[in-house]
């Protein structure tokens, strides 16, 4: 089967049945998740997808179009429809306040958004990743770095050139291939082809968490590759209250690939489920486009988060006391 063709194929869920078609190929599935019936969602594991269609990709879902109550992907509580915004249904957990959509698209799950420039060339952004990786390395003496969902920013190459122990991960097959060819087979991989027994001290997820649809698989994976002294960090927009629609054009949650709208409460609840703690910070210039005179005003709800083990509680709380706004001034 042609991998490129399938990347943009839409699956069809046959209601009431147990078959799915992708590109006209119909195969039987088994329900891999308990939530399927409750949510009216069909969730398919990447392993299953690979076994049937020979494609190694993130799990995808075909959603019901009905605006019925869903169940929270963090705590399982009932999550009523909160708002219809950007022609999408947004649900909010009544308990942990996690906000999510149910219209995840297969195409959006297979190509990251850090796609300025060609896959073989340099992408935009990357400074936040660089700042976080080098900051944690310096402050906590941590070494092995994973750039998770790094796209084609230049950060991977920059850190390599500066002698850091860094590996990369992304969902885009073309990018993985290009990086492997240049830096070796062990340097860059997809979320479902992690080398066995990988462990990382610093896992950087800049503008990644808003893409997580299958939360359990994504966080299980991150925590499984986090070393005993490891820290997960990154950036995403935190829901500031009020309407989902924001003043930017296009709005943050209008992007089809953005399916999770976090807050310090909901992300903290998720961290707690894994025995981890969360602290979030602002940054001096949260905008995402340079040069842009609006740069300092864009995305006032952009946050830098650290998800860490109890041993770092003092470090991060002290940091928050002295530097609640981190000196990150580039995207």
Which among 71-79, 158-166, 244-252, 306-314 is the span making contact with Zn ion, rule CB under 5 A?
71-79
Which among 47-55, 65-73, 167-175, 231-239 is the span making contact with Zn ion, rule CB under 5 A?
65-73
Distance CA 168, CA 156 (A): 7
Residue 181 CB coordination number (10 Å): 12
- Residue 256 binds Zn ion, judged by CB under 5 A: no
Q: What's the min distance (Å) between Cβ of 276 and Zn ion?
A: 17
Distance CA 113, CA 306 (A): 22
For residue 173, report the phi and psi dihedrals to the nearest 5 degrees.
Answer: -55, -40
Residues 82-111 interacting with Zn ion (rule: CB under 5 A): 93, 95-96, 98
- Residue 74 binds Zn ion, judged by CB under 5 A: yes
Is 95 or 158 the residue whose CB approaches Zn ion more closely? 95
Provide the b/e sequence for 91-130 (b: ≥16 CB within 10 Å).
bbbeebbbbbbbbbbbebbbbbbbeeeebeeebbbbbbbb
9, 56, 72, 233: residue in contact with Zn ion (rule CB under 5 A): 72
Q: What's the min distance (Å) between Cβ of 164 and Zn ion?
A: 37
Residues 257-286 interacting with Zn ion (rule: CB under 5 A): none
String of DSSP letters for 263-321: -HHHHHHHHHHTT-EEEEEEES---S-SS-TTTTTS-TTEEEEEEE-GGGHHHHHHHHH
Is 96 or 142 the residue whose CB approaches Zn ion more closely? 96
Q: What's the min distance (Å) between Cβ of 259 and Zn ion?
A: 15
Is 34 or 292 the residue whose CB approaches Zn ion more closely? 34
Residue ranges binding Zn ion (CB under 5 A):
72, 74-75, 77, 93, 95-96, 98
């Amino acid at each position: 089967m042609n991998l490129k063709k399938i990347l943009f194929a839409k699956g069809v869920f046959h209601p009431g049945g147990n078959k799915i078609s992708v590109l006209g190929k119909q195969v039987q599935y088994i329900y891999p998740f308990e939530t399927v019936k409750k949510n009216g969602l069909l969730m398919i594991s990447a392993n299953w997808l690979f076994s049937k269609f020979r494609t190694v990709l993130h799990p995808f879902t075909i959603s019901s179009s009905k605006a019925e109550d869903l169940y929270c992907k963090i705590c399982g509580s009932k999550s009523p429809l909160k708002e219809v915004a950007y022609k999408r249904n947004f649900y909010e957990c009544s308990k942990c306040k996690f906000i999510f959509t149910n219209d995840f698209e297969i195409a959006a799950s297979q190509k990251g958004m850090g796609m300025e420039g060609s896959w073989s060339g340099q992408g935009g952004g990357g400074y936040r990743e660089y700042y976080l990786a080098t900051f944690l390395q310096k402050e906590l003496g941590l070494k092995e770095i994973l750039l998770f969902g790094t796209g084609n920013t230049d950060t991977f190459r920059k850190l390599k050139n500066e002698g850091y122990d860094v590996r990369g991960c992304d969902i885009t097959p073309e990018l993985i291939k290009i990086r492997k060819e240049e830096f070796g087979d062990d340097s860059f991989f997809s979320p479902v082809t992690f080398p066995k027994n990988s462990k990382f001290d610093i896992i950087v997820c800049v503008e990644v968490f808003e893409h997580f649809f299958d939360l359990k698989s994504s966080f299980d994976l991150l925590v499984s590759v986090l070393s005993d002294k490891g820290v997960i960090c990154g950036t995403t927009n935190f829901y500031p209250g009020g309407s989902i629609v924001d003043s930017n054009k296009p709005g943050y949650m209008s992007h089809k690939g953005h399916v999770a709208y976090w807050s310090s409460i909901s992300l903290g609840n998720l961290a707690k489920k894994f025995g981890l703690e969360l602290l979030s910070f602002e940054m001096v210039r949260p905008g995402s486009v340079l040069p842009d005179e609006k740069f300092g005003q864009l995305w006032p709800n952009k946050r830098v988060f650290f998800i860490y083990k109890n041993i770092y509680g003092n470090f991060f709380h002290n940091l928050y006391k002295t530097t609640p706004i981190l000196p990150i001034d580039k995207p």
